[in-house]
Amino acid sequence: MSRRSEVLVDADWVQDNLDNPAIAIVEVDEDTSAYEKNHIKNAIRIDWTKDLQDPVRRDFVDQEGFEKLLSAKGIANDTLVILYGGNNNWFASYAYWYFKLYGHENVKLLDGGRKKWELDARELVSEVPERTETSYQAKPQNKAIRAFRDDVVAAIGTQNLVDVRSPDEFSGKLLAPAHLPQEQSQRPGHVPTARNIPWSKNANDDGTFKSDDALKELYADEQVDLAKDTIAYCRIGERSALTWFVLHELLGVENVKNYDGSWTEYGSLVGVPIELGANK
């Protein structure tokens, strides 16, 4: 049985639930100012740069910080959170994974995100809703879905490593997607034995996810044995959160981790192996 209805909602469902107080619609965008222009009615915003990152160290906000954030946003432990965003849900997927990391199980993605909503010519508004503050209780991080650098090094040649960046980033021609600043990691390339399966192959033109059968075929064609443990990575862990969502949430594959340090960390480590060149 497909797991889709447990992890995804479509635009019609959101349209029918815009005024439902038991749900929180949350926009998370790479362009954190997109929300200010307009957003889905009654949607609130989470800013991935300010709200989800420790202001000093390179790490996430801690458990207490996540509790404060969700309390202030008016999200309770039993609130159904519907995440959506631009860029084919890159950062909404990242937020989904992040909510799961802190144990919020009642969370779903709007299939197609902001793009599908706009292409359907559905209403967007500028009013910012008020939500009553809560006392949110988070769980300790679920490390079963988060990979760290040593996990990645240990996975070389033994687990599936899925590099979801563009072919030019994978081969070492670029350090970041063509439209983003070319900076941050010291060396280009990819983790040895990684397969390059760009995130975009998971999605249709309108940003919705491909069918389960098409997704299974994609990973089989790319010689990813889903019976093995898998680590997905990209540049900073947001595009790979989308691939994590596809594998772990849509296809129900166990033992899939997202490496949020991703290439900006791995490509700056001293002494680790790096491979150059296209997918073999």
Q: Which residues are catalytic?
A: 234
- Assess contact for 113 and 241: CB atoms under 8 A: no
Q: Tell the smallest beta-carbon distance from residue 67 to another protein (Å).
A: 34
On whether the CB atoms of residues 85 and 35 are closer than 8 A, the answer is: no
Q: Least separation, in Å, of the C-beta of 30 and another protein?
A: 11
Q: Which is nearer to another protein, 38 or 63 (CB)?
A: 38
Instruction: Report the C-alpha gap between 111 and 115 in whole angstroms.
Output: 10
Cβ proximity to another protein: between 43 and 70 the closer is 43
List of residues contacting another protein (CB under 8 A):
86-88, 115, 118-121, 166-167, 177-179, 198, 200-201, 205-206
Least CB distance from residue 197 to another protein, whole Å?
Answer: 12
Q: Are 193 and 156 in contact (CB under 8 A)?
A: yes
Closer of 168 and 229 to another protein (Cβ): 168
Neighbouring residues of 170: CB distance < 8 A, sequence distance ≥ 6 = 163, 190, 194, 196, 278, 279
Q: 189 to each of 156, 183, 186, 270, how far by Cα in Å? A: 14, 13, 10, 14
Enumerate the β-bridge partners of residue 232. 162, 258
Question: What's the closest the beta carbon of residue 200 comes to another protein, in angstroms?
Answer: 4
Q: Which helix (H) or strand (E) holds 82?
A: strand 80-84
**Residue 210 beta carbon to another protein: minimum distance, rounded to whole angstroms:** 13
Spatial CB neighbours of 5, under 8 Å, sequence gap ≥ 6 = none
Contact of 203 with 209, CB cutoff 8 Å:
yes
Let me know the angle formed at the C-alpha of 236 by 114 and 214, rounded to the nearest 5 degrees: 55
Residue 87's alpha-carbon distances to 144, 161, 200, 239, in angstroms, are 27, 23, 10, 10
